[in-house]
């Protein structure tokens, strides 16, 4: 129980919306093995962590709020989660359950538990909508991505954009190596991918599917609905050197790559 605690996550305040991040080797006391988001909770339901593997876990209220009760046989502690930048770390071996969900609640859970298979990713454009593992349960819905079990890459970082004001756009940049799964866990937004020769725009509005974005894609997000939350699962921890932030530089980079 001593290790059980809140962890304050970075909150990058920006007039184009806020961003928080959790990543291996930085603010996470374990390595990401799997991630899950739970939503559409039925009124009065409780959700036990037994579905999620029982290893070290980090619980975040991405939207709305709920209560987490943690037990270790003798004592029980209760925590209110209602901010996307305050995570609850639950070390392995403790049983916990979520309850008292607000109507818009989305619980994001990172777990040290991994999967054990692997599926290949094959697309030449560098962007495609992929269905994720979804399980409608009695209590609500859960979508999950386990490293080594259907995930196109091992997730080492998760970040999310929230409180994006109407009319703002985000993310006009490309990455040299980073692969990402982009999910609208709440609301909707558009994401335009540009490989230097062709542009495609996708509308994301379902928590149970993701847009898989390969490296070398210029990406722009806009058209955020009120309250929308964009969750990104990323293949690498944050590295400023992996960004290309100038469009002309991006076109030059693609020219070199395609030689
Ligand atoms: P950025 O990826 O540049 O988003 P956008 O292109 O939409 O502005 O991130 C915004 C800021 O947050 C930037 O200063 C870098 C910082 N940041 C981190 O420190 N870690 C992260 O994982 C991410 C995604 C961003």
The CA distance from 244 to 76, in Å, is 48
Rounded (to 5) percent helix, strand, coil in the chain: 5, 45, 45
- Judge contact between 20 and 86, C-beta under 8 A: no
Q: Is 175 a catalytic residue?
A: no
Which residue, judged by its Cα, is nearest atom 21 of ligand 1?
238
Is this model's pTM higher than 0.85 or not?
yes
Per-residue pLDDT of the chain (259 residues; tens, 9 = 90+): 669 999 999 999 999 999 999 999 999 999 999 999 999 999 888 988 765 556 899 999 999 999 999 987 777 999 999 999 999 999 998 889 999 999 999 999 999 988 754 333 334 677 888 888 888 787 889 999 999 887 899 999 999 999 999 999 999 999 999 999 999 999 999 999 999 999 999 999 999 999 999 999 999 999 999 999 999 999 999 999 999 999 999 999 999 998 8
Selection from 238, 55, 52, 61 nearest residue 159 by Cα:
238
Half-sphere exposure of 35 (CA within 13 A, CB side): 29
CB 107 within 8 A of CB 141: no
Ligand 1 nearest atom to the CA of residue 19, by list position: 12
Residue 112: the pLDDT is 94
Output the CA 3–ligand 1 centroid distance in Å: 29
Sign of the torsion formed by the C-alpha atoms of 41, 54, 9 and 168: negative
Query: Ligand 1, atom 5: nearest CA belongs to which residue?
Result: 171
Query: Regarding the domain delimited by 20-257, which CATH topology (the fold level of the hierarchy) does it fall under?
Result: Jelly Rolls (2.60.120)
d(CA 26, CA 258) in angstroms, rounded, equals 35
Q: What is the DSSP letter of 240?
A: G
Q: 159 CA distance to ligand 1 centroid (A)?
A: 9
Closest-lying ligand 1 atom to the alpha carbon of residue 157: 22
- Tell me the backbone φ, ψ of residue 253, rounded to 5 degrees: -60, -45
Angstrom CA distances, 219 to 35, 83, 85, 175, 213, stand at 23, 27, 25, 9, 9
Report the separation in Å between the CA atom of 234 and the middle of ligand 1, taken as the mean of its atom positions: 12
The single residue listed with the structure tokens 């374990």 is 30
Atom number, ligand 1, closest to the C-alpha of residue 23: 22
**Do residues 190 and 201 make contact, with C-beta atoms less than 8 angstroms apart?**
yes
Closest C-alpha to 23, from 238, 222, 227:
238
**What's the pLDDT at 118?**
36
Ligand 1 nearest atom to the CA of residue 12, by list position: 12
| Distance between CA atoms of residues 114 and 116, nearest Å | 7
pLDDT score, position 53: 54
Cα 248 to middle of ligand 1, angstroms: 20
Alpha-carbon span 29 to 89, nearest angstrom: 8
Pocket of ligand 1 (CB under 6 A): 12, 19, 21, 157, 159, 170-171, 173, 238
Select which of 173, 176, 200, 206 is catalytic.
173
* Residue 1 pLDDT: 63
C-alpha 92 to ligand 1 mean position (Å):
31
Domain boundaries, the chain: 20-257
Q: State the Cα–Cα distance between residues 47 and 58, nearest whole angstrom.
A: 15
């Amino acid at each position: 129980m001593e290790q059980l605690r809140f962890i304050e996550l970075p909150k990058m305040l920006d007039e184009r919306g806020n961003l928080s991040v959790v990543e291996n080797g930085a603010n996470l006391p374990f390595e990401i093995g799997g991630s899950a988001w739970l939503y559409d909770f039925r009124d009065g339901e409780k959700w036990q962590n037994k579905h999620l593997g029982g290893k070290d876990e980090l619980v975040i209220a991405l939207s709305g709020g709920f209560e987490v009760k943690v037990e270790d046989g003798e004592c029980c502690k209760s925590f209110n989660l209602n901010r996307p930048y305050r995570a609850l770390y639950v070390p392995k071996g403790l049983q916990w359950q979520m309850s008292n969900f607000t109507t818009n609640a989305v619980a994001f859970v990172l777990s040290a538990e991994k999967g054990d298979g692997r599926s290949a990713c094959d697309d030449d454009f560098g962007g495609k909508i992929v269905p994720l593992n979804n399980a409608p349960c009695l209590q609500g819905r859960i979508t999950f991505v386990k490293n080594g079990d259907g995930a196109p890459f091992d997730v080492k970082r998760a970040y999310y954009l929230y409180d994006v004001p109407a009319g703002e756009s985000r993310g006009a940049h490309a990455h040299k190596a980073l692969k990402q799964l982009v999910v609208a866990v709440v609301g909707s937004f558009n994401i335009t991918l540009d490989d230097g020769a062709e542009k495609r725009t996708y509308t994301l509005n379902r928590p149970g599917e993701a847009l898989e974005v390969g490296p070398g894609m210029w990406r722009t997000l806009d058209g955020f609905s009120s309250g929308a939350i964009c969750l990104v699962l990323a293949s690498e921890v944050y590295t400023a050197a992996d960004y290309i932030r100038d469009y002309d530089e991006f076109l030059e980079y693609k020219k070199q790559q395609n030689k």
